[in-house]
Structures are given as C-alpha cells and as structure tokens.
Amino acid sequence: MRQKFTHLAYLTSRLSKQSQYYGTLTNKANKFLCYNYQNVEHTKKIERPASFESPACLREELLCKVADPARNGIDKVTIVGAGMVGVACANAILFQRISSHVAIVDPFPKKLEGEGMDYCHSSVFLDDPRIEFDTNFCISKDSKVVVITAGARQKEGENRLDLVKKNTNIMRNIIPPLVEYSPDAVFLIVSNPVDVLSWVAWKVSGLPVTRIIGAGCHLDTARFRCMIAKRLGISAKSVHGLVIGEHGDSQVPLWSGVNVAGVLFRDIIPHVGLELDEEGWNDLAKSVAKAKMSQRIF
C-alpha cells in the first residue's frame, strides 16, 4: 500500500510540474490526489528538479569549475576590413594558431555576418578560438595587434598613389577609436598605398613609430621568390632575395643578393637583372610589380 501511495506522490510531483506548461489540474484530479495524500504516511519528499532560466545556469550544472578562466586578450588580434585581404589574414591567423582570440570589424553588416559565422563554425576544427565580429570598434578592446586592411579598391587604370586621398580619409576615421580601445596595440597596415598610409597612421595615432608597421614590399618579395622558383622548377623555400622601396611600380628587386640555396645568381649569370640580360629576368621583375589577382599563387 505504501508503494502505491509513494507512486501517487511521484505522480503528483510530475503533474504539478507539467501543469506549468499544460494548464492547471482538473478539480477532480486535484481532489483525488489530495485525498490520497492525506493517507500517505512517511512518504519520502520528492523535490522538483531545478529549472534553468538561462544557458549560463545550465552550464554551471553541467561543468565543474576547476580553475579560473584564462586571461582574455593575451594574444587578441583585431582585423579591420572583411574583404578579400582581411579574410585572407583571418584565415592565416586562425589556421596557423597564431591567436586564440580574433575580432573582425567591418562597416557592412551582411558581409561581416556571413564571414563571421563561417569562422565561428570552423572553430570546431581548430583549437576553439574566440571569434567576434561587429560593425562597432568596441570589440577591438585590449587587442595586442590590429591589422588594418580596410580601404577603397584600386580601379583599373589607377595606380596605388591615386588611392591616397580616399584611404587617408578612411584612416583618419578608424585609427582614433582603435587607439582608444587598444592603446598598447601594435598596428600592422596592409591597405594601399601601404607606405603612405603607414605614415598617415603613425601621425594620426600619435603612437611611437615602432608600433606602426607597414607590410611594405613583403608581398612583392614573396612573389619575386615564387616566380624565380617557378621558372627554375624548384621550391620557393630554396630561393632567397628581396624587393625593396615603395610597394608598387617603383619597387626595386635586389638581384645582387638573389641566391638559390646560398649560390648567388650573379656568380652563374653575371648580367642578371641588368640591361645586358638577354634571358628575360628583367621582365620577371616587372611582372612582380604588375601582378594581378589572377597571378597570385598563395
């Protein structure tokens, strides 16, 4: 008999819980249950399970805290601009595990949301990085590095210096809030014309010159090495050389220092890169400066 009433007590608890969602019990059911409760002696009290008002409450029940949370912002990187270059930067940073906290800022919400969701979903296959995206610069707070890729696109027939006025105005708008939220960050400028805009960023930010870094001819150097390697049919890692000067049409390839596994080109081809060069290496250097998106191989 006791088992029967214990079962009724359990049933009451379940029905009471369900009544929150499906309405109150009927009068007949209430009278029946109350009558049987009066005849139950020493029935074990049954506690209703706790309800979870928020995901945080459920998380606390599922997980046991064993240590304080890791310090946020220790390797945070903010990328300004979710265009092709900004996305390429985010890919490199995330997939090479350079940072565990990446924030992406862009003025176009639809484009930003699409890219941001892709990165959030791909985090399952990484080391679970924290990825934020917003149109507001506040998400850049406490960044260690800020990568600026935002800027007007170079149109056909324009050179990089034609972009100076447009992108200078953009820099004047985005640099102050970034410095406000991340006063200790190092700024990496990628927007074109990169050499001029690096100077603009330094002047507008008021930061020490050592904390404003322009991409310069780093990309041109990589192209230069890859094109030489492709022509020789060897690995680009075995080719060493530099392109210096302004990023663009006035850049200068240093043929005197080009070597393959330590062997200087000039020791094999004395006229390489000079007017007397008959093998077309000068044309290769010119193609580096004029490289279009379709020619980029990385």
User: Tokens 């990628």 sit at which residue?
Assistant: 190
What's the pTM?
A: 0.70
CATH 3.90.110.10 fits 218-295, yes or no: yes
The answer to whether 101 is a known catalytic residue is: no
What separation, in Å, do the N-terminal and C-terminal C-alpha atoms of the chain show?
79
Report the distance separating Cα 44 and Cα 40, nearest Å.
10
Per-position DSSP letters for 251-295, written without gaps between them = -EE-GGG-EETTEEHHHH-TTTTSTT--SSHHHHHHHHHT--GGG
Q: Which amino acid is at 284?
A: L
| Confidence (pLDDT) at 260 | 92
Domain positions in the chain: 2-62, 77-214, 218-295
pLDDT of the chain, 298 residues: tens digit per residue: 444 434 434 443 444 444 443 344 444 444 444 444 444 444 445 455 555 566 777 777 777 777 666 556 689 999 999 999 999 999 999 999 999 999 999 999 988 888 888 888 888 888 888 999 999 999 999 999 999 999 888 777 777 677 788 899 999 999 999 999 999 999 999 998 899 999 999 999 999 999 999 998 888 899 999 989 998 999 999 999 999 888 877 788 888 899 999 899 888 888 887 877 777 787 777 777 666 433 333 2
| Confidence (pLDDT) at 237 | 93
| Confidence (pLDDT) at 247 | 82
Give the up-direction half-sphere exposure of residue 294: CA atoms within 13 A in the CB hemisphere. Answer: 0
- Which strands make up the sheet holding 77-80, listed edge to edge? 130-134, 101-105, 77-80, 145-148, 186-189, 212-214
The dotted CATH code for 77-214 is 3.40.50.720
| Confidence (pLDDT) at 144 | 96
Could you say which of 101, 121, 247, 271 is catalytic?
A: 247
| Confidence (pLDDT) at 1 | 45
